Structure 1
Amino acid sequence: MLSFAQQGALRGVFTATKGDEKIIWLFVDDYCSQTHYKNNEYLSTWGGPYTINGTKLEVKIEYSDAHPDMVGSSKTSQLTMSAHGFQEQDGIVWKKQAAKKQELDGLWRITGRMQDNKMSSIQRGDRKTIKLLVDGYFQWIAINPANKGFYGTGGGHYTFQDGKYKEHILFFSRDNGRVGAELSFDGSLKEGKWHHSGLSSKGDPIHEIWSRDNEK
């Protein structure tokens, strides 16, 4: 059995199935998120910072909409590596998706939003909206780990090329009717900040600034 230290850091997108249920597990910048959904139905999500010790994965849970009582606790899984992914001790087999590295890959946190034609800073606090982007997949999550609050999530596929950021929605906790939507935004990196503008899934104009989550 090879450890992740021998195989390299755990990073990327892993998928599994349970009957008609689909599961996506994203790993990037020492943070992970696991989401369960069906073709047109969101089910649940949970995640948080993770560490690897040999073949053991430990996740400090920052959010779980299905089991909020688990927020603040840790979940440890024994993983068996393979050439195509890994298997958990409960028998679930996870297949690694092809690497599709893009400039925006990483863990981001919203730090600015245009309001009344003025860019307003969003102070770092317990409540936060984060976004994971890795290997062509994205997920945003609005949470408050301090009070076990969960306020919504959405995710799917993304591309970032020639100043255009595009999303294809696979799941959306607030409205299953948004599944399948294609959204296009203007995007640019300025001094390490991601400037994101266009129309939201509701059709409202947005202009946001995102920062790498390990930055102030």
Structure 2
Amino acid sequence: MHYPQYFIYIYFTKMRSMKKILLFTSYCILMLTSSVNSQTNMNVLGAWGKEENNTKTLVIITDYIFSVASYNLVEKKFNYTWGGKYRIDKENMELSYEWHSQDTAMVNLSASIPIAIKKDGQLSLGNILSGLTRLDGGKAGDLFGSWIISGNYTNDTVSKRANPFFPRRTMKIISGKYFQWVSYNVVTKKFFDAGGGTQTTQNGKYTENIEYFTKTTQSIGKSLSFGYSIIDGD
């Protein structure tokens, strides 16, 4: 019996041969490819967050992607998400917006945002975000990175998108203990859906615990588990 399979490759790659991560359940298989390229000496990689009045702000920073999400844990309400490619230049984060659920006019624009880790260890981004506490140890966990769907494999047939990054993208962003996925169109600037929460990688099993989900609140609080293994090759 053949099950639907989905191949997922990292959003940015600079090497043709690299490690791949194979995720699988009883109904699907996910293949992910990763290339690590750290950009800065400032140790900001990983998940950061804060909670106020049952509202959680979650920031995930990988080597190339900066992502923000806000949601109410008690009311199971999604507030917003925005993010995109970034680089750090001295004391500023140069952000190129790829998605913005509240203001699509921001998509494809760039902004220079002051970024700093305060003496108390909290992360601050100008007057946009402050008081963010580190939630994990950065690159802890096997699946750290930013991943994007590039095609599918069904009934022994591979079907790849001509350009998997354009115009619609579905990206999964994983830190040591948290994850977010987001779907958007970089041409129409339309935001489609997002979800996220905590995750663990233990003994060959990847488990997601969903804290917010824009498609349906019925999925919030549920867990999804995948087996995973790391392989080498193209």
Please give the root-mean-square deviation of Cα atoms over the aligned residues, in Å.
2.2
CA shift, 1:57, in A, is: 1.4
Q: In structure 2, what is the equivalent of residue 92 of structure 1?
A: 130
After superposing the two structures, state which structure 1 stretch, 137-146 or 183-192, moved more: 183-192
Secondary structure of 2:44's counterpart equals coil
Taking structure 1 as reference, are residues 34 and 162 closer, same or farther at Cα in structure 2, changes over 3 Å only? same
Counterpart residue type for residue 56 of structure 1? N
Equivalent-residue separation in structure 2 for 1:70 and 1:22 (angstroms):
23
Question: Does the 8 Å CA contact 2:136/2:177 hold for their aligned counterparts?
Answer: no
Secondary structure of 1:147's counterpart equals coil
2:140 aligned to which of 101, 108, 121: 101
CA shift, 1:66, in A, is: 1.1
Secondary structure of 2:187's counterpart equals helix
CA shift, 1:58, in A, is: 2.0
Unaligned runs of 5+ in 1: 194-216
CA shift, 1:18, in A, is: 4.4
Equivalent-residue separation in structure 2 for 1:192 and 1:165 (angstroms):
21
Question: Does the 8 Å CA contact 1:36/1:45 hold for their aligned counterparts?
Answer: yes
Taking structure 1 as reference, are residues 112 and 161 closer, same or farther at Cα in structure 2, changes over 3 Å only? farther
Per-residue CA distance 1:142-180 (angstroms, 9 max, x = gap): 111121022211111112233322110011111122111
Unaligned runs of 5+ in 2: 1-38
Q: In structure 2, what is the equivalent of residue 153 of structure 1?
A: 194
Secondary structure of 2:142's counterpart equals coil
Q: In structure 1, what is the equivalent of residue 62 of structure 2?
A: 28
Per-residue CA distance 1:122-141 (angstroms, 9 max, x = gap): 44232121111111111111
* TM-score normalised over the length of structure 2: 0.72
Q: Does structure 1 residue 13 correspond to structure 2 residue 47?
A: yes
Question: Does the 8 Å CA contact 2:169/2:183 hold for their aligned counterparts?
Answer: yes
Identity of matched residues, %: 26
CA shift, 1:59, in A, is: 1.2
1:77 aligned to which of 90, 104, 113: 113
